[in-house]
Every structure is written in structure tokens, then in C-alpha cells.
Amino acid sequence: MRRGREVTLRDVAELAGVSSRTVSNVVNGYANVTERTRLRVQRAVDQLGYRPNVLARNLAQGRSGQIAVVVPYLDTPYFSELLQSIIRAARVQGYNVLIDQTDGDRDHERMLVNHGSSRLLFDGVIFSPLGLSQAALADRDPTLPLVILGERVSDGTFDHVGIDDVAASRQATEHLLDLGRSRVAAIGDQPYETGEAAQLRTRGFREAHERRSLAVHEELIIRTPRFNRPDGAGAMAHLLDLDHPPDAVFCYSDLVALGAIHTLVSRGLRVPEDVAVIGYDDIEDGAYSNPTVTTISPDKEMIATTAVERLLLRIDSRTPPPGLELRAPHKLVVRESTAGPAPGRRRA
């Protein structure tokens, strides 16, 4: 064999003394090969350094070997951290990942789940919708393998992976109430058709009060168009201008919490002594801010791994499996924004 020439399937077959089809069966993991033959072929593969042409194999199977991950905003740390986990999980399974940002544009999101000419680009989609409502998701290409992240409940034709937002938000609010805070605010409500995530968090906020027979101060529930720093900062400024401002705030994301803390500090208030703050998502920034941010931490690794596994199952199945509601765990991570600085640590 000439040095430098690419090793082919036929080269492996000749060295192993088997047919090219047998080599293909071994490389692709098919079961109709004896163990003795499989070992002989594997030795030939290792000796020659053969690497399968994945692109050709995928095309022969009518696949691209790629999955798409569609999120509203790439500049949101929660999504960027989740994407890293999804990419790792997909790579282990031999898949590449295409990434698209929708900015919550309804038409763009609809185009992606209607698939059409995109079938040669990707084999399935992991999708966190923002512009499409629950009803709009039903009007999509039914043959597209789809896993939904976020707060859109499965209609039976796709899988939904997420955490229990109501329970997590209730736990966050109860943590503030356990501290003895009596005027707890909520920043991030979105009472419209595509604001399901915010609505579930508001529901958990209310349930925490109801379980303790405490009244919710309606003027302390603040709406925001996005879960970002500017919205958190602006909402906190509004709350502080009230005649009776809050002594604690549940923010619907860590970015909202960071914005709220910025406003509190700029107004000369202490966190948590004057106002306790809790966030949501457990992004890395919150662990290194001053003060560090108490947060609800979803298991992003499990969300990513489960989403990839379910999507590949759908891609590989001739008959699509029924849609499942899959819950990842979450936990409360207590940091300085509610507990105060650790002993021996000075505030900047």
C-alpha cells in the first residue's frame, strides 16, 4: 500500500479476509456478525488506522449527522452554558450541532419547525421557543424529530425537558419568607400568550404566600419584557420609588438579579441586610458577583443529556415514540445575596 494513500473499506476487507459488506457491518455496529469475525475486522481496522467516512455513511442513510439547537438569545448565559452541555452530549453520540438564534421572532421559529428544505441540514431539533405559543407549536411538520426545552407542555408528538418551574419558584420565595421578610417582590412577570415561563414562576411565587396564609402585595409583582440586567435594574428602581418598597426580591433570572443588585447598591442599600435578592438559573456570573447571588440551580447537564438522548431516539425510530414530559432536578443554592458574606470575607 502506498504511503499516504487513504485507507479504504476494501483495504480492511482484504487484510481481514472478509467481504467489504462484512467490514461495513462491523463498523456500523450491526449485530449479524460473529464475535470472531468482528475481532478480526477490528484488528485490521486498528492496524491500518481506518477511519469511516461519516459523511458518506450518513448520506447513504438519508441523514446529515447534525442536529439543530434553537434558542432565543445566545447572549443569555443560561443558554450559552446549556449549549456547551448539549454539544458535549451530541459529540459523544457522533453528532455535530448547528446553532440558531431566533430573537423570539415568531416567523423564524415557525420556519425552523416546519423544516421543509432544511432536512438535508439537520436530522432533528432541540428547541427553546419564545415567539411560538403552545397552540402554534401544534402547526408544524409532524415528521420532524423535536425536543422542546422551556415551558411548552408536550402535545404527545414531541418530548419536553425542563424543571418544575412552579416548585422551584415556590422554593425560592419560601426561602425569602423563611428569612422573615414581609414585603417580597417578584421581577419578571409576563402575563401574555408566550410568557409561560414567567407565568409559572409567578404561580410559584403566589403559592408560597398562599401556603403561609400571607397576602401577595400585587404592586410588588413587576413585569419585564426580557429576563436581562437592564430590565432588572429598571424594575428595582421602580420598586424602590414606591411608598413602601420591598425588603426582598425574587428575580426570574440571575441576570435580572444582577441588574436589581446594581440598582440597590447604587442607591446606597445593602444586600441582603436591607433587601435580600434571589435569582434563577445558576449562571457562572452569579457565583462571582459581589455579593454572590443566591439562586435556583437547574441541572443543566441532565437537561442537555436527556434532550440529546430523546432526540436521537426519535431520529432512529421508524415509528416516532410518544411524547414525554421529562423533569430534571433543581436545587436552591444559598449565597451572599440572601445569607450575607461568609465569615472573614469583606465586602468590596
98: domain CATH number? 3.40.50.2300
Claim to verify: residue 156 and residue 196 sit in the same structural domain = no
Claim to verify: residue 273 and residue 191 sit in the same structural domain = yes
In a domain, 305, yes or no: yes
**101 pLDDT higher than 90:** yes
Claim to verify: residue 97 and residue 180 sit in the same structural domain = no
In this structure, what DSSP letter does residue 331 have?
E
In a domain, 307, yes or no: yes
- Average pLDDT over the chain reads 88
Query: Which DSSP helix (H) or strand (E) runs through 333?
Result: strand 330-333
Q: How many CB atoms lie within 10 A of CB 236?
A: 30
In a domain, 90, yes or no: yes
Higher pLDDT pick, 27 / 201: 201
Percentage of residues in the chain having pLDDT higher than 70: 89
How far apart (Å, rounded) are the C-alpha atoms in residues 113 and 116? Answer: 9
Q: Which pLDDT does position 1 carry in this prediction?
A: 44
Per residue in 186-210, pLDDT (tens digit) is 999 998 877 888 999 999 999 999 9
Taking residues 113-137, report their average pLDDT.
77
In a domain, 325, yes or no: no
**221 pLDDT higher than 50:** yes
Claim to verify: residue 152 and residue 185 sit in the same structural domain = no
Q: Which pLDDT does position 2 carry in this prediction?
A: 43
pLDDT band at 4 (very low <50, low <70, confident <90, very high): low
Claim to verify: residue 233 and residue 155 sit in the same structural domain = no
In a domain, 34, yes or no: yes
Per residue in 256-265, pLDDT (tens digit) is 999 999 999 9
Q: Which pLDDT does position 20 carry in this prediction?
A: 83
Claim to verify: residue 193 and residue 257 sit in the same structural domain = yes
Domain with 19 in it: what CATH number?
A: 1.10.260.40
Total domain count for the chain?
Answer: 3
Claim to verify: residue 14 and residue 120 sit in the same structural domain = no
Q: List the beta strands (DSSP E) in 173-264.
A: 184-189, 221-223, 248-251
Buried b (16+ CB within 10 A) or exposed e, 110-142: bebbebeebeeebbbbbbbbbbbebebbeebee
The whole domain housing 112 covers 66-163+300-317
**The model's pTM:** 0.80
Percentage of residues in the chain having pLDDT higher than 90: 59
Claim to verify: residue 228 and residue 180 sit in the same structural domain = yes
Per residue in 272-316, pLDDT (tens digit) is 999 999 999 999 999 999 999 999 999 999 999 999 999 999 998
Claim to verify: residue 157 and residue 190 sit in the same structural domain = no
Claim to verify: residue 103 and residue 30 sit in the same structural domain = no
**Angle at CA of residue 302, ends 319 and 58, nearest 5°:** 45
In a domain, 346, yes or no: no
Claim to verify: residue 109 and residue 185 sit in the same structural domain = no
Per residue in 141-176, pLDDT (tens digit) is 888 899 999 876 666 778 999 999 999 999 999 999
How far apart (Å, rounded) are the C-alpha atoms in residues 53 and 38? Answer: 19
Claim to verify: residue 104 and residue 128 sit in the same structural domain = yes
The one-letter code for the residue type at 334 is V
In a domain, 323, yes or no: no
Taking residues 37-47, report their average pLDDT.
88
**Angle at CA of residue 253, ends 183 and 91, nearest 5°:** 155
Taking residues 25-49, report their average pLDDT.
82
